[in-house]
Amino acid sequence: MTFNSSISGKYYKLTSSDVKLYTLRADGKFAGTSGGTDTAVVLLTGWQTVSAMGNTMYQTYSGEYIDLSQGWQETGQAANYTRQQAQQLVNAIIRNNEVILCNNLLCARFAHRLTRTQQQQLYELQTRLTERNAALSEDGLVDVQETATPLGYAELESSLNSFMQKGVGSVTLALVIAAVVVASLSTAAYFAYQYYYRESEQDVKFSNSLTKTLTSKLTEEEYAQLKAETQGLVTKAKIQARLGGGTSKLFMYAGLGLAVLGVISYLRN
Domain limits for position 106: 83-268
Residue 90 and residue 65 in one domain: no
The residues with which 181 forms a beta bridge, in sequence order, are 142
Task: Tell me if residue 170 falls in helix, strand or coil.
Answer: coil
How far, rounded to the nearest angstrom, does the alpha carbon of residue 257 sit from its chain's CA centroid? 26
Instruction: Quickly count: other Cβ atoms within 10 Å of residue 82's Cβ.
Output: 13
Q: Which of 150, 130, 133, 152 is nearest to 142 (CA)?
A: 133
Q: How far apart are CA 38 and CA 19, in angstroms?
A: 6
Residue 111 and residue 242 in one domain: yes
- Residue finishing a domain among 77, 105, 127: 77
Residue 175 and residue 66 in one domain: no
The predicted pLDDT at position 203 comes to 97
The predicted pLDDT at position 247 comes to 52
Per-residue model confidence as pLDDT tens digits over 156-199: 889 999 999 875 556 878 889 889 999 999 999 999 899 899 99
Per-residue model confidence as pLDDT tens digits over 93-104: 999 999 999 999
Per-residue model confidence as pLDDT tens digits over 73-87: 999 988 889 999 999
Residue 232 and residue 133 in one domain: yes
Checking if the pLDDT of 267 tops 50, the result is no
Residue 17 and residue 105 in one domain: no
Per-residue model confidence as pLDDT tens digits over 36-87: 567 789 999 998 999 988 999 999 988 899 999 999 999 998 888 999 999 9
- Residue finishing a domain among 77, 99, 134: 77
Residue 159 and residue 51 in one domain: no
Residue 24 and residue 113 in one domain: no
130, 172 contact by CB (below 8 A): yes
- Residue finishing a domain among 33, 58, 77: 77
Residue 49 and residue 117 in one domain: no
Residue 40 and residue 120 in one domain: no
Residue 87 and residue 73 in one domain: no
Q: Who wins on pLDDT, 24 or 219?
A: 219
The predicted pLDDT at position 147 comes to 85
Residue 248 and residue 208 in one domain: yes
The domain tally of the chain equals 2
The residues with which 39 forms a beta bridge, in sequence order, are 15
